Structure 1
Amino acid sequence: MNLSTTYLGLPLRNPLVASAGPLSQTVDGIRRLADGGVGAVVLYSVFEEQIRRQAELDLALEEQHADAFGEALSYFPDLPGVAGDDVPSAYLRLLEEGATVAGVPVIGSINGSTQGGWTQYARQLQDAGAAAIELNIYFVVGDLSLSGRDVEERHLDIVRSVKQAVSIPVAVKLSPYFSSVGNMCLQLADAGADGLVLFNRFLQPEIDIDAVDVEPDVVLSSQYEGRLPRTWIAALRGRVGCSLAATSGVRDADDLVRNLLAGADVVMSTSALVRNGSEYGRQLLNGLEDWMETKGFDSLDAFRGQLSVRHDDENAYQRAGYITALEKARTVYGAL
């Protein structure tokens, strides 16, 4: 059975990718994910704020001793707030070591929301051995005067800036909260994105009514959440000149199959691997092979995108699906 695929121009042994998450925070964790069968590993994200903070600390150190005698240039005294092992440097070391032992492509991940000097860190990821870079653009707009077009331009500027800094592929992990998701995807591809990861999940806090406070919370994705990225992947398949990755809502091998039928080049998972362990990747792939054998498919290309949206009249297609869903609901729940 041929499970090989291509993502961001990278040949992968199979379409299952371990997305950014807690399992890739150590070299051993990266190795276990690869041993568990995945075709590639996306490292956990390093944050724009961490990169900026370290740059500020480095600058403060440099300025404090700018006039020091030359023979003392190797002397770096401790400064308040300077950790002995800064996060950006530790991340680069993890990437370099992980890429050496994994045996599969390792993709670096940067989580940011603004354009600036931090994007040059992408070049350091490339130099450390990243096969590609995933830009997790997590931007929750608090400024109500900011227009939708301004939000879009910020995303595009970040992509252009990173693409200018590196020669390796760049994927963009974006949210579904644009006025026109499809058009935004086309713009990102035109700006140079080599792939789109659909979708980022906004972490929505809960209100604690006893403490009368806002409580930050991280919840693993549910299977139902996979429907949204599949819907858009089905619509984008064959319409954008870049790779498509589905993420969120992968619980079992059936979800792997569903995303491939919609047209995904790869299917990413964190929650299923966290719940079941790194070795669960092998079980997901075995389930995919069993389904392919049952249906008579010997490769992913034989069925990938089989249920993507027809391109003759996309609006009518989506509208028909909406009406059909409502009609089905009436038969189950009664008149709505």
Structure 2
Amino acid sequence: MNLATRYLGLDLKNPLVVSASPLALDLGNSRRLEDCGAAAIVLPSIFQEDIENEIDEIERLVCEGNSEAFSYFPANISANAGPKNYLELIRRTRDALEIPVIASLNGTTRTGWTDYATQIEQAGANAIELNVYLLPTDIELTGTEVEARYLAILDAVKETVSIPVSMKLSPYFSSVGNMVKSLDQAGVDGVVLFNRFYQPDIDLEELKLVRDLKLSHKGEIRLPLLWIATLAGKIKASIAASSGVQTAAEVVKYLFVGADVVMTTSALMRHGIDYMKTLHDGLIAELKEREADSVADIRGRMSRGATSDLAAFDRVNYIRILRGGAYNA
């Protein structure tokens, strides 16, 4: 069974990739994930705000004349604070694993994106995933301005580093397809569909915002499934599927519509590190059941460009479902 695939120009032994999460902070977890079949691993995001807050706090202690606190820090504070621990994580993970290690970067300014991207490349990451967490809550910000920011970030980082660069996107653009096309033309090496933005809830007893992040469920597969099916074969960039992967069935569905790799974390956090082997073995079983000799045999076979049933992707199918009553209340 040939499970090999390519993502961001990297040769992977299979399409199963561990998406960014705290799991990869532990080197033992990363080794175990590789042993269980993971083909690549995305490290948790480094956030520019965290780096700058750390530096600000150290400099505050120094300015206040706290000699005891100052004794713990080197003379060149800014050079040693901030991304140092993350860069060391990249180095240690690269040394410990044979599979590609992808760093995840979440910046806020042009300088932040480029400076940290450069340091990430120097630390030995095989690629960088840009986690652009831009929630346009400023109602004066236009859709065109939002899209321009994504393109400007990509352009700045691509000018700075030579390793592959992917971008993790949200599904909230007015035209997802056109946005991906624009990024593709700008030279992005891959897109990850989709990012799950933080969405607050309200505690009615305490009357306060609830700050938590729910693990994804398999029902979330449908939106990325639609857009991957639409984009497959129409862009040069690699496509990574993210969200909703709980079993090998979701992995196979994503491959059928044209994904190059399939990312998951929620399933691993629910069931444990060893569940990666369940997904890996399940993928092989699914392919054997369909008499496929390789991942390539099924990839894209049910993309929008490969199927004659375009109505299944478009408005007409929505109308048929409503008129026929074939929907779940």
When normalised by structure 1's length, the TM-score is: 0.88
CA distance in 1, matches of 2:88, 2:144: 38
- Secondary structure of 1:116 counterpart: helix
- Once the two structures are TM-superposed, the CA of residue 112 in structure 1 deviates from its matched residue by 2.9
Identify unmatched segments of 5+ residues in structure 2: 64-69
CA–CA distance in structure 1, aligned partners of residues 198 and 326 of structure 2: 35
Deviates more, 1:1-10 or 1:278-287: 278-287
Once the two structures are superposed, the pairs formed by residues 41-80 of structure 1 within 5 Å of their partners are: 41-54=41-54, 78=73
1:292 aligns with 2:291: no
Residues 326, 98 of structure 1: CA spacing in aligned structure 2 closer, same or farther, 3 A cutoff?
Answer: same
Q: SS of the residue aligned with 1:44?
A: strand
Paired position in structure 2 for 1:171: 166
Partner in structure 1 of residue 247 of structure 2: 252
Deviations 1:96-142 (A, max 9, x none): 01011111000000123443344221111111110000001011112
* Residue 141 (structure 2) aligns with: 146
Contact in 2 for aligned 1:122/1:162 (Cα 8 Å): yes
Aligned-residue offset at 1:51: 3.2
In structure 1, how many angstroms separate the alpha carbons of the residues matched to 2:326 and 2:241? 31
Question: Where does residue 322 of structure 1 map in the other structure?
Answer: 318
Q: CA deviation at 1:332?
A: 5.7
Paired residues of 1:23 and 1:30 also in contact (CA < 8 A): yes
In structure 1, the residue corresponding to 2:322 is in which secondary structure? helix
User: What is the aligned partner in structure 2 of residue 101 from structure 1?
Assistant: 96
2:26 is the counterpart of 1:16? no
Q: Is the 8 A contact 1:54 1:88 kept in 2?
A: no
Residues 120 and 325 of structure 1, relative CA distance in 2, 3 Å threshold = farther
Select which of 127, 138, 144 maps to 2:122: 127
Unpaired segments ≥5 residues, structure 1: 65-74
- Quote how far apart the aligned CAs of 1:314 are: 6.7
Instruction: Return the alpha-carbon distance in structure 2 between the equivalents of residues 203 and 86 of structure 1.
Output: 27
Out of 263-272 and 110-119, give the one that drifted further: 110-119
Q: 1:331 to 1:29 in 2, by over 3 A?
A: closer
Structure 1 window deviating more from structure 2 (285-294 vs 13-22): it is 285-294
1:190 shift after superposition: 1.6
- How far apart are residue 179 of structure 1 and its match? 0.4
**Counterparts in 2 of 1:187 and 1:314: CA distance versus 1, 3 Å:** farther
- Structure 1 distance, partners of 2:240, 2:4, is 15
- Contact 1:174/1:197 (<8 A) preserved: yes
SS in 2 for 1:43: strand
> Within 5 A, what are the aligned runs for 1:298-313?
298-310=293-305
Q: Is the 8 A contact 1:123 1:165 kept in 2?
A: yes
Q: 1:267 to 1:210 in 2, by over 3 A?
A: same
SS of equivalent to 2:110: coil
Asked whether the 8 Å contact 2:242–2:264 carries over to 1, the reply is: yes
How far apart in 1 are the matches of 2:226 and 2:108?
25
Change beyond 3 A, Cα 1:212–1:57: closer
Residue aligned with 1:257, SS: helix
Shift of 1:31: 1.2
Post-superposition shift, 1:295? 1.0
Contact 1:205 1:215 in 2 (8 A): yes
Matched residues in 1 for 2:304 and 2:182: separation? 20
The structural deviation recorded for 1:55 is 5.8
Q: How many Å separate the matches in 2 of 1:293 and 1:316?
A: 27
Contact 2:55–2:82 (CA<8 Å) still a contact in 1? no
Moved over 6 A (4+): 311-316
CA 239–129 in structure 1, closer or farther in 2 if over 3 Å, else same: same
Distance in 2 (CA, whole Å) between partners of 1:32 and 1:112 is 30
Identity among equivalent positions (%) equals 46
CA distance in 1, matches of 2:206, 2:163: 48
User: Structure 1 CA distance, aligned partners of 2:54 and 2:164?
Assistant: 26
Between 104-113 and 148-157, report the one with greater CA deviation.
Answer: 104-113
- Cα pair distance change 1:55/1:169, threshold 3 Å: farther
Query: Do the aligned partners of 1:115 and 1:154 also contact (CA within 8 Å) in 2?
Result: no
Q: How many residues align?
A: 319
User: For each residue in 1:46-81, what CA deviation from the matched residue of structure 2 results, as whole angstroms up to 9, or x when unmatched?
Assistant: 1021233456678x59x98xxxxxxxxxx97759xx
| Structure 1 counterpart of 2:50, one-letter code | Q
Aligned residue number for residue 66 of structure 2 = none
How far is 1:325 from its partner? 3.4
**TM-score normalised over the length of structure 2:** 0.89
Cα distance in 2 between the residues matched to 1:295 and 1:325: 28
What is the CA–CA distance in structure 2 between the aligned matches of 1:119 and 1:327, rounded to whole Å? 52
Shift of 1:215: 1.3
Equivalent of residue 231 in structure 2, options 210, 214, 236: 236
- Contact conserved, 2:106 with 2:113, CA < 8 A, in 1? no
AA at the equivalent of 1:323: I
Choose 241-250 or 188-197, whichever is displaced more: 188-197
Contact 1:51 1:118 in 2 (8 A): no
Distance 2:225 2:313 in 1: 15
CA deviation vs aligned residue, 1:168-219 (integer Å, no higher than 9, x gap): 0000001000000000001111222100000000111110111111111111
Aligned match of 2:215 in 212, 220, 224?
Answer: 220
Match of 2:25 in 1: 25
Partners in 2 of 1:147 and 1:186 — Cα distance?
Answer: 19
